[in-house]
Amino acid sequence: MDNYKVEKYQADQKNSWDSFVKEAKNATFLFQRDFVDYHADRFTDHSLLVYKKEKLIAVLPANISGSELHSHQGLTYGGLVLGKKITFEESLEVFKSVLVFLKSEGIGVLNLKLLPKIYHRLPSDEMDYLLFLVKASLVRRDFTSCVFNETPLKITSSNRLRGIKKGVKNELQIREVSDFDAFWTEVLEPNLKQAHDQKPVHSLEEITLLQTQFPKNIKQFNVYKEDKIVAGATIFETSTVAHAQYISANEEGRKTGGLDFLFHHLLQHLSNKTYFDFGISNEAQGMKVNKGLLNWKESFGGRSIVHDFYEIKTENHHLLNELFI
């Protein structure tokens, strides 16, 4: 382990961090520093870099809270980000080095939320096995509904087919736009306020900023009836997945089949990705499922992929000491 060194991320390492993330085997644009840092005022960043003989081979987007380190709580997913050529033995040494470093810093618990496997560019299940070895506790499990675009299921739901026909009958139009104002202020924010008394995770200013920084990854599709917005979806695209980050329709959109019409289009338009990810249907820290939302996603052919959250005691690093025989 003497060959491995762990450092806390500093702002002047942004370029090397971003360059590494772009080539890593289990990373998306959410791990680039412009995305991690857009809400820096809300979290105390404590991201880590791991070197082997001065070569960067892993990073961990993270924030600290008390005596616990978290996979960055401002991101949908996280975990150790590994280089394409890293071996299993190197992955073990990286993880052990991180746990030893955190223990030496007085951090007793590491909370990891793993990157769902559909986002992996290469096989990357080392962490699943290593978490088993250090007796990590599974503290939460969500599931997301995905369409596998190589063998998509045919839409057979009479409700979905009827909704699509409504959209055609009402002469709805779908446009990809670069302006988020109409969707945020006329559809998304009013809906979330009325239904849940909540706001979107991203403010209008934040999503606009992020789109300017990641124009190839963040896209907005709106549905119009007679040039008035009635529905929309914000899509986050990675190399393997098109993910529906926000989905919403106003009353007119619901009456005219706006979302059914839109997602029938998106599933065709974005079929170049391996997966289309509708997002989770969980609530209450994974313990409850919104049945209506889940049924809607599954009626488009979405099927389940889990998203796991683990708690690791850093003192358990010694359990990795004598693995090989």
Taking the C-alpha atoms of 252, 255, 260 and 261 in order, what is their torsion angle to the nearest 10 degrees?
-60
User: Which CATH number fits the domain that encloses residue 20?
Assistant: 3.40.630.30
Q: Does residue 112 form part of some domain? A: yes
One domain for residues 57 and 89: yes
Least confident of 44-48, 239-243, 282-286: 282-286
Q: Is residue 285 part of a domain?
A: no
Contacts for 39 with CB less than 8 Å, ≥ 6 apart: 74, 206
List pLDDT tens digits, range 129-160.
999 999 999 999 999 999 999 999 999 999 99
Total domains, the chain:
2
Counted residue by residue, the chain has a size of: 325
* Segment 274-298 mean pLDDT: 95
Extract the tokens encoding 48: 């880590």
| Mean pLDDT confidence for 294-321 | 97
Specify whether the CB–CB gap between 4 and 42 falls below 8 A: no
Is residue 69 situated within a structural domain?
A: yes
Residue type, 202: H
Q: Are residues 264 and 157 in the same domain?
A: yes
Residues 268 and 172 in one domain: yes
Q: Is residue 108 part of a domain?
A: yes
Same domain, 200 and 223: yes
| Domain co-membership, 217 together with 166 | yes
Token readout for 127 is 């962490």
In this model, does residue 308 exceed pLDDT 70?
Answer: yes
What is the arithmetic mean of pLDDT over 112-118? 97
The whole-angstrom separation of Cα 146 and Cα 118 is 9
The answer on 184 and 136 residing in a single domain is: no
Over residues 4-17, mean pLDDT: 97
Q: Are residues 84 and 158 in the same domain?
A: no
Per the DSSP assignment, residues forming a β-bridge with 50 are: 6, 58
**In this structure, is residue 301 part of a structural domain?**
no
- Kindly report the pTM of this predicted structure: 0.94
Same domain flag for 210 and 107:
no
The answer as to whether 146 is a domain residue is no
Note whether residue 293 is domain-resident: no
The answer to whether residue 59 scores a pLDDT higher than 80 is yes
Enclosing domain of residue 58: 4-141+308-320
In this structure, are 116 and 239 located in the same domain? no
134 plus 116 within the same structural domain: yes
2 has a pLDDT exceeding 80: no
Per-residue pLDDT, averaged over 84-105, amounts to 97
pLDDT of residue 195: 80
Q: Which pLDDT belongs to residue 228? A: 97
* Inside any domain, residue 202: yes
Comparing C-alpha atoms, which of 323, 245, 319, 312 is closest to residue 80? 312
pLDDT band at 77 (very low <50, low <70, confident <90, very high): very high
- pLDDT band for 196, please (50, 70, 90 cuts): confident
Q: Are residues 90 and 190 part of one domain?
A: no
Question: Please, which pLDDT band fits residue 164 given cuts at 50, 70 and 90?
Answer: very high
Provide the mean pLDDT of the chain. Answer: 96
Beta partners for residue 112, in sequence order = 310
Give the model's confidence band at 1: pLDDT under 50 very low, under 70 low, under 90 confident, else very high: low
Residues 123, 234: one domain? Answer: no
